[in-house]
């Protein structure tokens, strides 16, 4: 028995190339033309126009509505059809070295030195081919031929491989260019590359039959709902306008640019292999489904979606507004937009179908075990509308903001901004809760307080919150957000809040800033009935204020007494202004306060003297 | 009474007007303000109204020297406080009001028990402890929830000896809550105020609350007169203490044995004697100052 030898990387690359060469020798012709050349001159759409005329008018074959997942430490694939609730799931055991892809009705995956295709609906094996371990980038399928792109051994260049249903190689092309994820339509391979080209490869002879220059970052081609699409973060439709693509006039629809945490993308680059296990990029994604329209292309349902770990956001594409928020029970690792909604797969293996309009969960499926990654493909599936009314957006936002998970804080800040713009009083309640709850992340708290200060409704919720005080024995160890609520209530001229704010003036657990802002609000809303309490507080602090915040509060309370024309209070302020014991910050500001008094009403005219 | 209902912070405390019979009084508690009185100088009240801080300070000193006899000046001191004084004079005025033991000071001191400066709050709590009645009691109960640990402890201590507390049962409930929140000073005050059932509940804290804290509290219970705490309750408590069987327990029982009044209950005395004998040689370190 000969000793086992370890293989060097160079030898591995040589073996991989040899494996693919073997595959070619067993099947179709090998093409070594000068494909994908960069000295190509734009033909102004002539060649792609001919291709469109040839194959573009017929609908692309339908794809599977299916979810598949990698499980068992990348040792199995489980799959389930989406369109049949209660359908049994299938399992296929095979070592995996990357993320499986769904191409039309086929699942393509690689591992243990081979690539294999399964029927997406059943998991049945269609064919297997050795690859020597080349990383799979992506695949397309038209129901007869599967075209796959692999990264070349060594990581430079690509291999394009077309395999028929019988497992025979139809075409193999090696190129130093980095190819993206291909599509197949009418025995033609549509291969994106260099971010801006889609070359059409005639699989019958290996020639580059056409090329189109597109004006959007493009590393993927795929068929969906009967149409062929190119793109990565946007969608370019293969229609009669494709011949004008180089002029930027192709039928195009994009997901509106919007600041989202994690800078999510609609799709990962199609020219990069995807790891078998999901990573953070899979948890921060955008989803949208393009649809053909008479004028070109649009987003299905006028919606696009964003995920951030277990937070899902639905956006109104037309008005560029957040429409709903859904909290999944576990981090989302995969999904796809569908007609009528969004299909999501979480790391527990649960699949949820959400209503596009409301975000309500309308159906759930279970893959039966935690998943390492998940791929969802939607073609004709339509998510039915929600049966039950969803919570108002403000309530949904409130739920999301309350979630106690440090990893969600970045998204929660964004949602807090959304909450701040809501006119719904529920939003005020939610902000009060967020700013009051000791479990609220310190990273979120300042934003919650700022948003609360700017509210102009929800006074009742604020008054209820002001009724709470620090209470050691009752384990209430955090004062409510008095300062922000005082700002808001003062701006709203909510006179009913005055006694509540006064109670906080006397609460030693409140911060100096809270006291300062409560006093400022009282200058706006205090009425005669609270004058004695204000005089009491003024007397207690005008000479003992320990800092400028409390001294500023002293001045505000003096202002309140002057505004309400409280004679004993004004006398007290005058005495304080004259007394050197009054803290300097306050004393130097009391004179202007006293000077702001309205002039006394003129005395009534004395009775004219009788002559 | 002031016109403003005093809001959520103090209204309930200062609006209280009920009157329940006094059920508990402190044991062995000489009132801090009960010093030998010096006659209040005739010009003290006039000097209290002075704009000169030194004059005010001198007058406050004179009122303090007069102790309870300084009570006629209390109203003026409250007025001066209401107008506002420097931090030093505020402290002096609060301490002086406590020494006068005048009910006129109740409300003002209750306000200052909520002052933002912790030193002023502590002074007000101490002063309230020298007063009498429902208002100080309510203010001290409120201070059990103060954000400052020292204020909570001080309030727990002062409330045990407060005279005229008409809500003893509620106060004891608050003190138990405070003890559960590690306000250890509450234990001794419970010992001063508890009825037999609550005293047994206090004894139930043996083994949970450190024994040095419990010793001070149970000492209060066991030395209270028979009209407050019956023999059976005391015997039960001594038996519970005895069961701990440590050197510290033995020391505590020995101390109790030495302090037991000659005319005190013979049955309780016998129980103490048996417990001392039973715990002789118990394990554990004795306090260095403990008599051998």
Contact A357, A323 (CB under 8 A): yes
Asked whether residue A135 falls in the same domain as residue A164, the answer is yes
Residue A4 lies in a domain: no
Q: Which DSSP state fits B112? A: H
pLDDT at A264: 95
- CA A93, A98, A100, A103 dihedral sign is negative
Residue A2 lies in a domain: no
ipTM, two decimals? 0.87
Mutate to test the interface with A, among B2, B5, B9, B173 (most CBs of A within 10 A): B9
Taking an 8 Å cut-off on Cβ atoms, the answer to whether B9 and A506 are in contact is: yes
Task: Summarize pLDDT for A340-357 with one digit per residue, the tens.
Answer: 999 999 999 999 999 999
Residue A603 lies in a domain: no
Asked whether residue A151 falls in the same domain as residue A272, the answer is yes
Residue B9, pLDDT above cutoff 90: no
Rounded to the nearest angstrom, the minimum Cα separation between B202 and chain A is 18
Across the interface, which of A507, A530, A544 has its CB nearest the CB of B9? A507
Q: For A45-50, what is the mean pLDDT?
A: 95
Q: For A459-474, what is the mean pLDDT?
A: 96
Task: Summarize pLDDT for A162-201 with one digit per residue, the tens.
Answer: 999 999 999 999 999 999 999 999 999 999 999 999 999 9
Residue B252 lies in a domain: yes
Residue A25, pLDDT above cutoff 50: no
Tokens for B44? 């003290």
pLDDT at B166: 87
Q: What percent of chain A has pLDDT over 70?
A: 92
Domain residues for the domain of B234 are 194-292
Asked whether residue A61 falls in the same domain as residue A176, the answer is yes
Count of domains for chain A? 3
Mutate to test the interface with B, among A536, A552, A564, A575 (most CBs of B within 10 A): A536
pLDDT at A561: 97
Token pair 């007290």 is at which residue?
Answer: A572
pLDDT at B285: 56
Asked whether residue A513 falls in the same domain as residue A438, the answer is no
Across the interface, which of A472, A550, A575 has its CB nearest the CB of B145? A472
Closest-approach residue (CA) in chain A for B86: A543
Q: For B37-43, what is the mean pLDDT?
A: 87
Taking an 8 Å cut-off on Cβ atoms, the answer to whether B152 and A472 are in contact is: yes
Asked whether residue A447 falls in the same domain as residue A367, the answer is no
Task: Summarize pLDDT for A542-556 with one digit per residue, the tens.
Answer: 999 999 999 999 999
Count of domains for chain B? 1
Among candidate residues A403, A435, A457, the one where a domain is terminated: A457
Rounded to the nearest angstrom, the minimum Cα separation between A549 and chain B is 12
Cα–Cα separations (whole angstroms), residue A153 to A156, A172, A182, A189, B103: 7, 15, 19, 22, 94
Q: Output the domain CATH number for residue A97.
A: 2.130.10
Mutate to test the interface with A, among B55, B116, B153 (most CBs of A within 10 A): B116
The span from the CA of A297 to the CA of B82, in Å, is 76
pLDDT at B159: 96
- Other CB atoms within a 10 A radius of the CB of residue A331 amount to 20
Task: Summarize pLDDT for B139-168 with one digit per residue, the tens.
Answer: 999 999 999 999 999 999 999 999 888 899
Residue B285 lies in a domain: yes
Most confident of A8-17, A195-204, A434-443: A195-204
Across the interface, which of B5, B84, B87 has its CB nearest the CB of A576? B84
Chain B positions touching chain A (beta carbons under 8 Å) = 2-10, 51, 53, 81-87, 89-90, 111-112, 114-118, 120-121, 144-148, 152, 174, 177-178, 181
Residues in chain B: 292
Contact B254, B288 (CB under 8 A): no
Task: Summarize pLDDT for A99-143 with one digit per residue, the tens.
Answer: 999 999 999 999 999 999 999 999 999 999 999 999 999 999 999
Asked whether residue A38 falls in the same domain as residue A71, the answer is yes
Task: Summarize pLDDT for A54-68 with one digit per residue, the tens.
Answer: 999 999 999 999 999
Task: Summarize pLDDT for B52-98 with one digit per residue, the tens.
Answer: 999 999 999 999 999 999 999 999 999 999 999 999 999 999 999 99
Residue B263 lies in a domain: yes
Residue B113 lies in a domain: no
Residue B109 lies in a domain: no
Residue B173 lies in a domain: no
pLDDT at A14: 47
- CA B39, B42, B46, B52 dihedral sign is negative
Among candidate residues A315, A346, A377, the one where a domain is terminated: A377
Taking an 8 Å cut-off on Cβ atoms, the answer to whether B87 and A503 are in contact is: no
Q: How many CA atoms lie within 13 A of B112 on its CB side?
A: 32
Asked whether residue A313 falls in the same domain as residue A294, the answer is yes
pLDDT band at A607 (very low <50, low <70, confident <90, very high): low
Residue A314 lies in a domain: yes
Q: Contacts of residue A546 in chain B, CB cutoff 8 Å? A: 116-117
Contact B53, B86 (CB under 8 A): yes
Q: For A329-335, what is the mean pLDDT?
A: 98
Residue A384 lies in a domain: no
Asked whether residue A334 falls in the same domain as residue A414, the answer is no
Residue A7 lies in a domain: no
> Do the bridges between strand A373-377 and strand A66-71 make them parallel or antiparallel, or are there none, so unpaired?
antiparallel
Lowest mean pLDDT among A29-33, A278-282, A475-479, B185-189: A29-33
Asked whether residue A218 falls in the same domain as residue A129, the answer is yes
Taking an 8 Å cut-off on Cβ atoms, the answer to whether B116 and A550 are in contact is: yes
Residue A121 lies in a domain: yes
Residue A422 lies in a domain: yes
Asked whether residue A39 falls in the same domain as residue A182, the answer is yes
Taking an 8 Å cut-off on Cβ atoms, the answer to whether B145 and A544 are in contact is: no
Rounded to the nearest angstrom, the minimum Cα separation between A427 and chain B is 26
Asked whether residue A104 falls in the same domain as residue A175, the answer is yes
CA-based radius of gyration for chain B: 22
pTM equals 0.77
Residue B138 lies in a domain: no
Domain residues for the domain of A89 are 12-377
Among candidate residues A425, A457, A489, the one where a domain is terminated: A457
Residue A327, pLDDT above cutoff 60: yes
Tokens for B4? 């403003």
């Amino acid at each position: 028995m000969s000793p086992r030898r370890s293989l060097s990387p160079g030898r591995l690359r040589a073996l991989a190339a040899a494996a693919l060469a073997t595959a070619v020798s067993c099947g179709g012709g090998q093409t070594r033309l000068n494909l994908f050349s960069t000295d190509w001159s734009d033909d102004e759409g002539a060649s792609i126009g001919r291709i469109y005329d040839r194959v573009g008018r017929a609908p692309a074959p339908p794809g599977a509505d299916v979810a598949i997942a990698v499980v068992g430490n990348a040792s199995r694939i489980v799959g389930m059809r989406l369109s049949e609730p209660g359908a049994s799931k299938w399992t296929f055991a095979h070592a995996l070295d990357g993320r499986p892809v769904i191409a039309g009705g086929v699942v393509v995956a690689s591992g243990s030195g081979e690539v294999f295709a399964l029927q997406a609906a059943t998991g049945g094996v269609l064919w297997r081919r050795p690859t020597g371990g080349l990383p799979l980038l992506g695949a397309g399928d038209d129901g007869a031929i599967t075209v796959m792109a692999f990264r070349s051994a060594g990581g430079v260049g690509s291999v394009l491989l077309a395999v028929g249903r019988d497992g025979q190689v139809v075409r193999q092309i090696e190129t130093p260019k980095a190819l993206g994820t291909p599509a197949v339509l009418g025995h033609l391979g549509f291969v994106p590359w260099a971010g801006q080209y889609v070359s059409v490869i005639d699989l019958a002879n290996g020639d580059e039959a056409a090329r189109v220059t597109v004006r959007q970052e493009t590393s993927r081609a795929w068929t969906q709902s009967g149409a062929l699409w190119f793109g990565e973060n946007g969608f370019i439709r293969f229609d009669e306008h494709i011949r004008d693509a180089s002029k930027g006039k192709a039928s195009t629809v994009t997901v509106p640019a919007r600041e989202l945490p994690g800078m999510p993308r609609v799709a990962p680059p199609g020219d990069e292999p995807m790891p078998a296990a999901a990573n953070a990029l899979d948890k921060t994604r955008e989803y949208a489904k393009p649809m053909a329209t008479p004028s070109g292309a649009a987003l299905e349902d006028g919606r696009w979606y964003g995920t951030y770990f277990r937070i899902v956001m639905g956006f109104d594409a037309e008005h560029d507004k957040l429409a709903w928020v859904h909290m999944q029970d576990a981090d989302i690792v995969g999904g796809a937009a569908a007609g009528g909604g969004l299909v999501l797969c979480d790391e527990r293996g649960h699949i949820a179908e959400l209503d596009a309009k409301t975000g309500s969960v309308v159906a759930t499926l279970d893959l039966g075990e935690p998943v390492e990654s998940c791929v969802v493909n939607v073609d004709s599936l339509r998510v039915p509308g929600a049966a039950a009314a969803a919570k108002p957006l403000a309530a949904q936002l409130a739920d999301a903001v309350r979630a106690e998970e440090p990893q969600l804080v970045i998204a929660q800040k964004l949602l807090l901004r959304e909450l701040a713009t809501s006119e719904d009083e529920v939003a005020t309640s939610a902000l009060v809760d967020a700013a009051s709850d000791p479990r609220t992340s310190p990273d979120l708290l300042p934003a919650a307080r700022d948003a609360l200060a700017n509210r102009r409704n929800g006074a009742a919720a604020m008054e209820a919150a002001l009724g709470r005080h620090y209470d050691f024995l009752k384990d209430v160890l955090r004062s409510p957000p008095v300062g922000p609520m005082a700002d808001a209530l003062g701006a709203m001229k909510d006179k009913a809040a005055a006694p509540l704010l006064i109670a906080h003036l006397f609460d030693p657990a409140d911060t100096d800033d809270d006291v300062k802002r409560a006093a400022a609000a009282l200058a706006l809303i205090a009425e005669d009935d609270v004058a004695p309490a204000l005089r009491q507080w003024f007397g207690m602090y005008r000479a003992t204020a320990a800092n400028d915040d409390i001294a500023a509060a002293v001045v505000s309370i003096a202002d309140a007494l002057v505004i309400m024309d409280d004679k004993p209070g004004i006398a007290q302020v005058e005495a304080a202004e004259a007394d050197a014991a009054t803290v300097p910050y306050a004393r130097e500001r009391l004179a202007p306060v006293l000077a702001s008094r309205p002039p006394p009403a003129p005395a009534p005219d004395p009775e004219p003297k009788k002559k | 009474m002031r016109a403003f209902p005093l809001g959520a912070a103090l209204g309930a405390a200062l609006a209280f007007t009920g009157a329940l019979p006094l059920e508990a009084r402190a044991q062995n508690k000489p009132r801090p303000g009960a010093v030998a009185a010096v006659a209040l100088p005739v010009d003290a009240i006039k000097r209290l109204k002075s704009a000169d801080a030194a004059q005010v300070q001198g007058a406050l000193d004179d009122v303090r020297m007069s102790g309870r006899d300084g009570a006629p000046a209390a109203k003026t001191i409250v007025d001066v406080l209401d107008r506002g004084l420097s931090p030093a004079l505020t402290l002096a005025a609060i301490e002086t009001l406590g020494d006068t033991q005048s009910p006129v000071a109740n409300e003002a001191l209750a306000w200052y028990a909520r002052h933002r400066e912790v030193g002023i709050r502590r002074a007000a709590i101490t002063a309230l402890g020298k007063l009498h009645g429902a208002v100080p009691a309510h203010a001290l109960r409120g201070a059990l929830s103060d954000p400052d640990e020292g204020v909570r402890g001080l309030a727990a201590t002062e409330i045990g000896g407060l005279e005229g507390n008409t809500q003893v049962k509620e106060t004891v409930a608050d003190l138990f809550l405070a003890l559960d929140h590690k306000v250890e000073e509450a234990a001794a005050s419970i010992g001063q105020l508890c009825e037999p059932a609550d005293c047994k509940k206090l004894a139930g804290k043996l083994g949970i609350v450190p024994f040095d804290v419990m010793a001070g509290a149970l000492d209060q219970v066991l030395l209270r007169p028979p009209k407050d705490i019956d023999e059976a309750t005391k015997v039960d408590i001594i038996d519970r203490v005895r069961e701990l069987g440590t050197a510290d327990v033995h020391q505590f029982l020995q101390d109790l044995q030495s302090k037991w009044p000659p005319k005190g209950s013979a049955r309780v005395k016998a129980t103490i004697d048996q417990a001392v004998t039973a715990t002789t040689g118990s394990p554990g370190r004795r306090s260095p100052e403990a008599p051998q």
